[in-house]
Structure 1
Amino acid sequence: MYFILSMIIFGAVGVFAKYIDLTSSEIALFKSLIGGLFLVLVCICTKHKPSWQNMKKNAIALLIASIALSGNWIFLFQSYKEATLSNAALSYYFAPVLVILLAPFVLKEKLSFKKMGCVALALFGLFLIMQSSKTGTTEHHLLGIFYGLIAACFRVVCLFCSNCSGW
């Protein structure tokens, strides 16, 4: 039940972001405030106290991850506003491809032939999406796809920050 509820909530984010009469940065701010208040409430209810020592130890990674998460949300919400919801979501979910490409440098993983084939297929799919968006009725589709790709880049930075700090 929790999984279904979380999927409904996350799936509706794009619809709300596209039709809410706020800027992308305002939506990201309110999302952060609501999420932060919810976490404070959970901490109070469970009597969980955050470890200030761990926060100090990971301060730089937390700062970078916070900036990256903010950029992620702002560009994702702007992508929803500029492109169709499907094109925005598809470009945003290009993040795993970026992880595959960066993993040999950041995580010292091997880049196999199979992974490179998957990256090539994903790039081809993105190319097809961009080509179909050129003939679309809205001139902002390509800009929305570009914003989605920027959001994906910020998402990858968040992932690597959390991996490097041992969260």
Structure 2
Amino acid sequence: MNIAAMIKMTVAMAIFGSIGFFTVNTGIPAEELVFVRCICATLFLGGMWFFTGGYKTEKWSRQEVTQTLICGVFLVFNWVFLFKAFEEMSISVAISIYNLAPIFVLILGSLILKEKMTVQAVMAVIVCFLGSVFIIGLDQFTSIEALFNSGFVWAMLSAVCYALAMFVGKGITHLSTYALTFVQTMVGIVILPPFLDFGVFEGLTTSNWLYILGTGLIHTGFVYYLFFDSLRKLPTIVVSALVFVDPVVAILLDIVILDFRPTLLQTAGIVLIFAGIIYTLIKPSKQIVELPQV
């Protein structure tokens, strides 16, 4: 076991878990925050890619670049939807639903690639569905308006987009992780401006800017470096286990700092969701851990 890589991965996932806390303190909407995040990631990881000389050994192909661009679109919208979910619901609930992405990968494999779902996979999907109903509350499903206002749709869309990013990106084998991230965050810089209101950056406090830059430089630059640097040095089963550090930290911060108090039904929902996701540990798949959680 590469202990140094394991420590880096653990630190990366722990910092990832604090992104919800940073997001709610930035003072700007999801779209603008993701735009800043893309700029920071492009500069930071693009610089690492350049100074390490990795760009010289890249093996580019039209098919993989096309896949990476499509993957980038899904990844950017995954961020936007997740941050919008943070605006409408507690971080614990949003993160729990967001972590359903591996379950959606199983479903996509069954529908698109005609992969046969095992009994365990079907049970995992059912358990996670019940967990989602419990964590949101049955009262939120009584009308479309209540469902949208709860943030459930945003959180679910973020999970679906993340699953699509994993699904599309699983066939990319020649491009380095730095090249992948550089191209994907460049996609965000290109597609987001028409949807932005740059006026939201006026009148922000020093504290707001610290949280904004922290989200970009720490959560997207430095942490992605730690994640990618350790990813290829660890067994898939270890990475699959360590990604759970992310939601655990997020939920703890939500409870300790933001005073989130889950009801008994919500607690049961969180337990059911992660019980279903643990299926990925029983039969791990590389495609499920190829990208960082957020």
Give the TM-score of the pair, scaled to structure 1: 0.86
After superposition, residues 97-136 of structure 1 pair within 5 angstroms as 97-131=103-137, 134=140
Q: Which residue of 2 aligns with 1:19?
A: 25
Output the CA distance in 1 between the equivalents of 2:122 and 2:40: 40
Moved more, 84-93 or 60-69: 60-69
Unaligned runs of 5+ in 2: 1-6, 141-145, 175-294
Q: Which residue of 2 aligns with 1:67?
A: 73
How many residues were matched structurally? Answer: 163
* Secondary structure at the counterpart of residue 58 of structure 1: helix
1:82 and 1:141 in contact (8 A); partners too: no
C-alpha spacing 1:38/1:66, structure 2 compared with 1 (3 Å): same
Q: Which residue of 2 aligns with 1:143?
A: 150
Higher relative contact order (CA 8 A, sep 6+): 2
1:133 and 1:141 in contact (8 A); partners too: no
Q: Which residue of 1 aligns with 2:289?
A: none
Output the CA distance in 2 between the equivalents of 1:155 and 1:80: 16
* Secondary structure at the counterpart of residue 18 of structure 2: helix
Output the CA distance in 1 between the equivalents of 2:49 and 2:108: 35
Greater share of helix: 1
Q: Which residue of 2 aligns with 1:77?
A: 83
What letter matches 2:109 in structure 1?
A: A
C-alpha spacing 1:109/1:17, structure 2 compared with 1 (3 Å): same
Q: Which residue of 2 aligns with 1:157?
A: 164
Q: 2:64 aligns with which of 58, 69, 83?
A: 58
Q: Which residue of 2 aligns with 1:49?
A: 55
User: What is the Cα deviation at residue 60 of structure 1?
Assistant: 2.2
2:105 and 2:164 in contact (8 A); partners too: no
Give the TM-score of the pair, scaled to structure 2: 0.51
What letter matches 2:41 in structure 1?
A: G
The percent of aligned pairs where both chains have the same amino acid is 23
C-alpha spacing 1:141/1:105, structure 2 compared with 1 (3 Å): closer
Poorly superposed stretches of 4+, deviation over 4 Å? 50-53, 139-142
1:54-76 deviation line (CA, Å, top 9, x unaligned): 15342321221111111000000
